Chains A and B, each alone.
Chain A
């Protein structure tokens, strides 16, 4: 068997992408099938039910819970303002009054005669869903959202933080192994800026300060990530951080030059409008961060998915674990039998020629394919 399936990250100059844009709960879809949309357009809208607060009327009025419904000044379903009396009790022939007041503005939802609690629900919170990419609506999911189709370049990163953004792509370095640092950023307002082999925390903060949408780099140090997030990230499920900027790394942790092919493509796309998302999820349903660049084909033909056929001899792969971490190599042999490693584990391996000409043995699990 000369094939093996080893998925890699997609780095494609031209491809077709479909983005499902779904509301967190049912709402109104504002566009129709066939409609052209811009990334910033609102395509669906809903209102999340408001927060809930409780008022312990029985305690406040010194009543048994069963008497609370009788003490209410307003029925369930009424609108109330914060501070407004909602229940009252009378004692000493009606001379002494105790009052319970609303602790928020909202709707009086429930009156309990078992616990004596009254539930108030605040106003609904509007949620708007943007198109995220320039493209066309190809399907409407009734009441839920749409699917937007776009054509153009796609660069997947290995890890990211922060959510979606839209901006112009800009390169702050001229070589993939360079590092811009905070002083080499230039004018990055509204931009997605490529900072080279390392995004350190000072550079990310400076970029945020200058109004950048996102930072793209080959690697990030775990130490810097901890400083940026304020916590030690335990599980790679990201995207909801409120950082004011997104970060996308293409190679991994540490100072790692951006793969040449990726860097060359980024260079070619410099100045164009891009959509980025730092969200990463490496559990069930893998989600990688991405840079999407909608653009006309300009004569490039869409290439079939290189990952369908699996590993073959002659293919270029990237080693993704020590001792050859980050190196590109050409597959020269795919032995069928299990081979022992230095650890003595017997696993499926491949023989690969590194860029320096050395031919080495690498577990097949430790390489990823580079899309040609």
Chain B
């Protein structure tokens, strides 16, 4: 399909609260976003038909673009003159997305592989049941019964190994007789992707009780992980079973020639595409109201994790519970009472659609965002790991927790690009707020570019990339990404106020002292030669005290020189000193309106 000269593409993403539509057209030789529209998602009562919301979003596109796309309730394809579109496609996370339970024999081996397969396919993993997870058989059976997943991925054992443990897991599933989340009449889809020698036994045990699909083992040997066949089956079953049960989806599926993809799977696809095409390591993060998704490609290995209870509204209270009050308050440049903070956060949780009206409230939300991102990244680094027994050749970042099953693939020093998405980042009143929130949360090391997704169209572009990579790539670069600029952050040790590094960016020079940050303007689209000379105890990738010369890219914010240190990055323990440091940093990059920084 990618060879056909598409004139226009209409793409929708049915989120849990909003359905977003974008219209892409061929303008001259390239593809551009023309307009977007949105409408409330209509999966739930009183509408219970997802296509109502889709049609409403498309009607908004029709109005703004002043062109006809719909004929009644039908999308006109192909485009004739100025009427209709050549292609319609959609993604969906409505109704809570894809919820899965996975199993493995050894939790840190096949269990983790199964988790990665499900997450990579865009699922939320409700639980990992493993033979050695410490729970007694009856406890596991009770847990399986209590969960009502959309589907189960049953894995365990390497090919040719013992079949006993994985058959035991199958027996446990059969005994639990789990029910599907949606619909009471159809059988629960179960995917078997374990030891191939156990296929007959598993089929005998589960064949009649569940809708069983057998596919290749996700862990054919200790050294090999083969997730793609299971991921494909998950996508197929998502369409056939889960989507087909959701109200209106049968109709929606008939409108598009391209399978409807789970939203996170589509975002993962576009992140993978950027990393592959540019040959770089990329980190993508989407912070929503309820969940935070992290996508990464390090050393050409793609990983995705979803932190189901880290978010900025529905789950904001859980961010506080997991991070702890002190970790949140360390980012707030104000003196705030803990009880007051706790009540404010809970009030946001129960009224999730409200927005900060005062600067103080904005600062608290941005502090919460940093902690949500940090925690999501810790979880990501714990799952984005190499296989046990396989030698890792890459430099390993020890910023994040290591797991016993292999070292994390997350390597901040090689990370070239961080892309942030979600309201708190994309709609931050000043772009430097988004840049500093991501810098504080991820603590990138070396030289890293940053961008935000302007209107969250990565899902639509992800599914488009499967059928028309050129259109997806062009719109992504020109209309989707807002390049914020570049962060330069050396690691090393030094006392506050001592020299850290010198920077020559084009014809501008700066001497950075330990504990400082500064913003150097470099416009969007500008790319200049820069030389960075770290002091003898500091490193920017070439070794301690060795200078680095390279091109750096500008953006709507510019180049952020960060001499606050890494490993460790330390904030003053004393409350008053910390508040002063935060105010100084905020002032240095013009983070908030000037009077607020003085008076608050």
Name A's B-contacting residues (CB within 8 A): 25-26, 49, 51-54, 65, 109-110, 112, 114-115, 117, 119, 121, 144, 158-159, 221-223, 225, 232-236, 252-254, 280, 282-285, 320-323, 325, 341-345, 347, 362-363, 365-366, 368
CB under 8 Å from chain A, chain B span 298-343: 309, 314-315, 317-318, 320-322, 339, 342-343
In the complex, what residues of A have CB within 8 A of residue B175's CB?
52, 54, 109-110, 119, 121
With beta carbons under 8 angstroms apart, the residue of A235, A283, A321 that contacts B355 is A321
A253 pairs with B357, CB closer than 8 A: no
CB under 8 Å from chain A, chain B span 166-218: 167-168, 171-172, 174-177, 179, 184, 201
Interface string of B421-463 (1 = CB under 8 A from A): 0000001011000000000000000000000000000000000
Interface string of B24-44 (1 = CB under 8 A from A): 000000000000000000011
**Residue B356 at the A interface, CB < 8 A?**
yes
With beta carbons under 8 angstroms apart, the residue of A53, A322, A347 that contacts B137 is A53
A284 pairs with B44, CB closer than 8 A: yes
CB nearest to A344 among chain B residues = B429
**Residue B290 at the A interface, CB < 8 A?**
yes
A110 pairs with B171, CB closer than 8 A: yes
Q: Smallest Cβ distance from B157 to chain A, in angstroms?
A: 12
A52 pairs with B317, CB closer than 8 A: no
Which of B101-109, B344-352, B477-485, B491-499 has 4 or more CB atoms under 8 Å from chain A? Answer: B344-352
What's the Cα separation between A284 and B360 when bound, in Å?
29
What's the Cα separation between A115 and B157 when bound, in Å?
14
**Residue B475 at the A interface, CB < 8 A?**
no
With beta carbons under 8 angstroms apart, the residue of A51, A114, A235 that contacts B138 is A51
- Give how many B residues have a beta carbon under 8 Å from the other chain's beta carbons: 57
A114 pairs with B359, CB closer than 8 A: no
B164 pairs with A49, CB closer than 8 A: no
A345 pairs with B429, CB closer than 8 A: yes
What's the Cα separation between A366 and B163 when bound, in Å?
58
A343 pairs with B359, CB closer than 8 A: yes
28 contacts between A and B (CB under 8 A): A53-B137, A53-B138, A65-B164, A114-B167, A114-B171, A114-B201, A158-B351, A222-B346, A232-B317, A234-B321, A235-B315, A236-B314, A236-B317, A236-B349, A252-B343, A253-B343, A254-B347, A282-B352, A283-B16, A283-B290, A284-B16, A284-B95, A321-B355, A342-B358, A345-B356, A363-B355, A365-B354, A366-B355
In the complex, what residues of A have CB within 8 A of residue B378's CB?
none
CB nearest to A109 among chain B residues = B175
A-B pairs with the 3 shortest C-beta distances?
A234-B318, A344-B429, A232-B321
In the complex, what residues of A have CB within 8 A of residue B352's CB?
282
Q: Smallest Cβ distance from A79 to chain B, in angstroms?
A: 17
A345 pairs with B318, CB closer than 8 A: no
* Known A222-B339, A234-B309, A235-B309: A253·B355 in contact at CB below 8 Å: no
What's the Cα separation between A222 and B360 when bound, in Å?
20
CB nearest to B201 among chain A residues = A114
In the complex, what residues of B have CB within 8 A of residue A323's CB?
357-358
B359 pairs with A112, CB closer than 8 A: no
In the complex, what residues of A have CB within 8 A of residue B360's CB?
322
What's the Cα separation between A285 and B450 when bound, in Å?
36
What's the Cα separation between A65 and B44 when bound, in Å?
49
Q: Smallest Cβ distance from A51 to chain B, in angstroms?
A: 6
A54 pairs with B179, CB closer than 8 A: no
B164 pairs with A321, CB closer than 8 A: no
B351 pairs with A252, CB closer than 8 A: yes
* Known A158-B350, A234-B317, A325-B347: A119·B171 in contact at CB below 8 Å: yes
**Residue B353 at the A interface, CB < 8 A?**
yes
What's the Cα separation between A166 and B314 when bound, in Å?
29
**Residue B361 at the A interface, CB < 8 A?**
yes
A322 pairs with B351, CB closer than 8 A: no
A222-B343, A232-B317, A233-B346 known; 4 new pairs, CB 8 Å cut-off, are A54-B171, A236-B317, A254-B347, A344-B430
